[in-house]
Amino acid sequence: MQQRKQQDIKQRNCITVHSDQGRPVVFGHGFGCDQLIWLPVIGQLPKSVAPITFDFMGCGRSDFSAYDKEKYGSFNGYVQDLIDVIEALNLGAVDYIGHSVAGMIGMLAAVKRPDLFKQIIAIGPSPKYLNDADYQGGFEREDIIDLLSMMERNHFEWAGYLAPIVMENSQRPELAEQLRKSFANSNPEISRRFAEVLFLSDNREHLKHVPVPVTLMYCAVDVIVPVGVIEYMAAQIPHSKMAELNAAGHYPHVSSPQEVSQAIMAIL
């Protein structure tokens, strides 16, 4: 029964074990992407690392038939899926690297199951994207509502609008085009719901409970996550440190994979 459950999870989240030799490192992708976004970084890693990637529900080659509106109507569904994925690997505690929302999902999963995580490397995470009186997350509520409305009205228009803004590297338009295709290939209905869960969330209260070491990787120029957010997280998470990347934009693992891989290895 247990073996069958593990196999079901491997298929549900399309778990890919890139090597069975070396130190297991699990990679979680960000919103609007799938596990393929990590390939440039994985290609730079030494053989001493055994990368493992997967797709969050509704992304990439995950099993869309397993999508449940109620389960994935909050972070809890995605957090449980990450726990399931690591359990299905049967490797014990692993190093986990999560981009953007996947970084926050990893921290929430570690609060629930600290035994599954050695450490977390979070690239451009945020506990809350909305500004309020004493916190600057980077967005006003009207900005997010407009973004959600655009997604609902025209998924492809939204993909074309957002990709070059978040990629930042205007001198390399091919990077924005790659990201646009990733956004456009995602399921419009599921992406819209995931975006609402993500951009209207507030996970600040959980930061002080994260029990494992966390490295907060960030770019000085990131339209999605201001440096002030990273500084806020570093002050709240008990065992944390900041690591600035020599890159720009919200997707440094796409624009500067060698820089990101070297930074990862320095931590591992």
Active site residues: 100, 222, 250
| 13 SS3 class | coil
Q: Is 236 exposed, middle or buried (0-12, 13-18, 19+ CB in 10 A)?
A: middle
One-letter identity of residue 101: V
Q: What's the rounded Cα separation, in Å, for the pair 178 and 173?
A: 9
CB within 8 Å of 251: residues ≥ 6 apart: 30, 37, 99, 166, 167, 175, 179
Cα dihedral 197, 69, 155, 166 sign: positive
